[in-house]
Structure 1
Amino acid sequence: MSAQLWDPNREPDEGRPSGSPPPPTDPPTIGPNSASDAAAGPAGPRPADAPPEAPPRPWSPRSVPPSGQGRSDAGPTPMFPPQPAPMSLPPVQDGNLEPLRIPTARQEDGTAADRVRIGLWGAPRSGKTTYLAALPIAAMQFQRHGEGNWLIGGMTAEANAFLNDSVTKLAIEKGFPINTTALEGMSWSFQGQEPTTGMMRKRLRDASFVLEIQDAPGESFKPNNPLHAKVLDQLAGAQGLLYLFDPLGDASEASQSLTFFFATLNELNNRIRNAGGHYRGRLPHHVSVCIAKFDHPDIFRPAVEAGWVTQDTVGSQLPRVPEHLAEGYFQWLCNDFRGSTARLVRDGLAAYFHPERVRYYATSAIGFRLNPQHVFDYRNYANVEIVNGAPRICTSPEPINVLEPLTELERRIRASSGGRTGWRR
């Protein structure tokens, strides 16, 4: 009689021969002696006539018996298949972020209401960089020549370095700063006391503002210059313009004011017009026209002979063009002294800007040479000499009308905007 075989698909006790071992319930194990253990089984070596064992069941967490039930804790530990990596959740967009506040100006830069943007404009060699370099010296000397006092400080390390280097170059080394070759932006703080206007004129009022100004090479005011677009951006966004007119340089074709004046003026007008920024049909800027190099003998002597110059009676007795004569002095230079191109510069200023928003100043960044008693002497007043082929300042600089065009420009901007410094009205 043949032996009855065990069918693994039947119930556990159905059709199983008596005495045969129960089907395995543990998952397959792997260890150093797994091959021999599988042959021997849990009860020792298998008899030759024993029915074949059932194939192992697929692994599942339920098939692993708890510790101490159906297996020996001393035996080999079952190996579990690797768990799948957890699915990554979509990133949280902003649910766990701190709310973001609107950006504000840095404290050291002052508030927006304190800041005044001034565009510096002039042909090559008109003296723009020297003008800026003379500002800290003019501020220190201000209280000696009139009422009030001014302090100038840089808002950045670069601006402070420019101020320090300027005083060293002009007052100690008696030299001139190197011509600007790149667009340089600077922010300076102005704090001072100045005379009030009107009935309280004898009293001083506190004044403070932050000046934003860019020193650009004169060549950048020509349309084909790579910096021309950036210069126009700066002029268009400025509230006031500081225009340096050089009567000497205007005689040279390479530095004629008109060459660098009209193209910039025309494109500036187009930008302001397209942005809807015209004020009563003209450009909205306030303008200070600085008639440069007042100290040069080729300009000063004819101006004296034409009757435009007066002289202080106290202190260093410096020559000046009085404020009420400054516009006439500019007209005389353009009509009788310089020529037709200068007249077109004059006419362009009168046509594109409101006359009541334009002021004129006879300016000198280094001033006149003074005698050993620190007094002006008409017999020897030229303050520049040539040493080893380079220009050198003879005596300590005494800037004339360098600070006033800026401080008065700031005052006019605030007065016309009701205390606000925006140029659109």
Structure 2
Amino acid sequence: MTNHRISLWGAPGSGKTTFLAALPIAMMRNKRDWALVAKDDASGVRLASLTAQLVREREFPKMTNQLEVLDYVLLGPPRVRRRGWFFRRATVTEPAHVDLSIFDLPGGAFGNSPTSDLIDDLTASHGLLFLFDPIREFQSGDSFDYFYGVLSRLAQRVMASDASSARLPHRLAVCITKFDDPRVLNTAERLNLIATDPDVSHQGPRVSSDAAEELFRSLCTVSASGNADMLLRGIRQFFRPEQVRFFATSAIGFYIDQRRQAYDSEDFQNIIPMKEGHRIRGSVQPINVLEPILWLADQPAADVK
């Protein structure tokens, strides 16, 4: 059993709370039999409430306005391990069991002057999950404001204990949110980044992790402030390349016709515009919500696609 702490990170409204709400749904729809079990009542009640908003009420959760520490256990399919030496070696089947603590903070906490408590939490985390909302960036252009201040303070804290390290020891999963938005999907199509995996074709397009960095780079060029190009430079400056992976994600996925159980390229939007915000149109089909969590939790590559 391994203990991992993962912190969600991103600008206000970038989708951190919605990402959490979609995580149990992603696990239940995943074919690799992963489950998320709360370790305490508060974590269980909070996640159940968020998920119910998406599934039953078809509403997006409200933005987080205070620090939430949520503790869970990731339970996965059995894995075969070999123990012992030579003729005494034995094959043991063990279930995947990962302790997972998720720190969900208000986006405003990640501004240019993050608190010492926030930096303490990030320093103690094994993995960082950075949510990049390309639609917000196009409209507001403030992702860099909630990026560099945190990283510079985090690097300062890490180097104080290990001056020999020029880069952070954390794993970083960069999640490009709202992949279901036509503007994001059209960008991926224009760049010829759409995957053709037959296992997921009925649920709509996908972008592989290997191609997601190119999508991220392209989306950064339409920043309202013109500062988003520095995000990728900052990632390369502070993290080792092998410790970074990109994902094109969507908490709600594309609209799937329930009768035909098929993706329709002419009718794929899963939201309905309302006077105030949006409502979810059909069933929630998360895209690349579980995968970055498994990667940050250091699961074998065969378990993460």
Q: Normalising TM by the smaller chain, what interval? A: 0.7 to 0.9
Unaligned runs of 5+ in 1: 1-112, 197-203, 416-425
* Counterpart pick for 1:270 among 156, 181, 185: 156
* Counterpart pick for 2:167 among 278, 282, 285: 282
Residue aligning to 1:300: 185
User: What is the distance in 2 between the residues matched to 1:124 and 1:257?
Assistant: 9
| Residue aligned with 1:304, SS | helix
Residue aligning to 1:151: 35
Give runs of aligned pairs for residues 2-401 of structure 1, distance below 5 A. 114-143=2-31, 148-193=32-77, 206-224=95-113, 228-253=115-140, 256-276=142-162, 279=165, 281-314=166-199, 316-334=202-220, 336-338=221-223, 340-372=226-258, 373-401=260-288
After TM superposition, give the deviation of residue 274 of structure 1 in Å: 0.8
Greater share of residues in strand: 2
User: What is the distance in 1 between the residues matched to 2:112 and 2:116?
Assistant: 8
User: What is the distance in 2 between the residues matched to 1:311 and 1:338?
Assistant: 29
User: What is the distance in 2 between the residues matched to 1:328 and 1:171?
Assistant: 32
TM value normalised by structure 2 = 0.87
After TM superposition, give the deviation of residue 382 of structure 1 in Å: 1.1
1:294 aligned partner, one-letter code: F
Q: Are the counterparts in 2 of residues 277 and 283 from structure 1 also a CA contact under 8 Å?
A: no
User: What is the distance in 1 between the residues matched to 2:24 and 2:138?
Assistant: 30
| Residue aligned with 2:189, SS | helix
After TM superposition, give the deviation of residue 194 of structure 1 in Å: 7.3
After TM superposition, give the deviation of residue 195 of structure 1 in Å: 8.0
2:69 aligned partner, one-letter code: G
User: What is the distance in 1 between the residues matched to 2:70 and 2:4?
Assistant: 12
User: What is the distance in 1 between the residues matched to 2:240 and 2:255?
Assistant: 37
User: What is the distance in 2 between the residues matched to 1:278 and 1:182?
Assistant: 35
Distance 1:116 1:277, change over 3 A: farther
After TM superposition, give the deviation of residue 306 of structure 1 in Å: 2.1
Distance 1:383 1:317, change over 3 A: closer
TM value normalised by structure 1 = 0.63
Q: Deviations over 1:58-102 (max 9, x none)?
A: xxxxxxxxxxxxxxxxxxxxxxxxxxxxxxxxxxxxxxxxxxxxx
After TM superposition, give the deviation of residue 131 of structure 1 in Å: 0.4
After TM superposition, give the deviation of residue 184 of structure 1 in Å: 0.7
After TM superposition, give the deviation of residue 308 of structure 1 in Å: 1.2
| Residue aligned with 1:330, SS | helix
Q: Deviations over 1:143-184 (max 9, x none)?
A: 1xxxx2101011110110122112211011100111100011
After TM superposition, give the deviation of residue 302 of structure 1 in Å: 2.2
After TM superposition, give the deviation of residue 251 of structure 1 in Å: 2.2
User: What is the distance in 1 between the residues matched to 2:19 and 2:281?
Assistant: 17
User: What is the distance in 1 between the residues matched to 2:174 and 2:187?
Assistant: 20
After TM superposition, give the deviation of residue 245 of structure 1 in Å: 1.1
Residue aligning to 1:45: none
Residue aligning to 1:5: none
| Residue aligned with 1:398, SS | coil
User: What is the distance in 2 between the residues matched to 1:167 and 1:367?
Assistant: 15
Pick 1 or 2: higher relative contact order, CA cutoff 8 A, min separation 6.
2
User: What is the distance in 2 between the residues matched to 1:376 and 1:230?
Assistant: 45
Distance 1:390 1:328, change over 3 A: closer
After TM superposition, give the deviation of residue 323 of structure 1 in Å: 2.6
After TM superposition, give the deviation of residue 125 of structure 1 in Å: 0.9
User: Percent of aligned pairs with the same residue?
Assistant: 35
| Residue aligned with 1:360, SS | strand
How many equivalent residue pairs? 287
Unaligned runs of 5+ in 2: 81-92
Q: Deviations over 1:389-408 (max 9, x none)?
A: 33100001100000010111
Structure possessing the higher radius of gyration over alpha carbons: 1
Q: Are the counterparts in 2 of residues 140 and 151 from structure 1 also a CA contact under 8 Å?
A: yes
Q: Are the counterparts in 1 of residues 209 and 245 from structure 2 also a CA contact under 8 Å?
A: no
User: What is the distance in 2 between the residues matched to 1:142 and 1:395?
Assistant: 18
Q: Deviations over 1:299-340 (max 9, x none)?
A: 112221221112443563421002321222222323x44474
Q: Deviations over 1:93-123 (max 9, x none)?
A: xxxxxxxxxxxxxxxxxxxx63211121111
Q: Are the counterparts in 2 of residues 269 and 283 from structure 1 also a CA contact under 8 Å?
A: yes
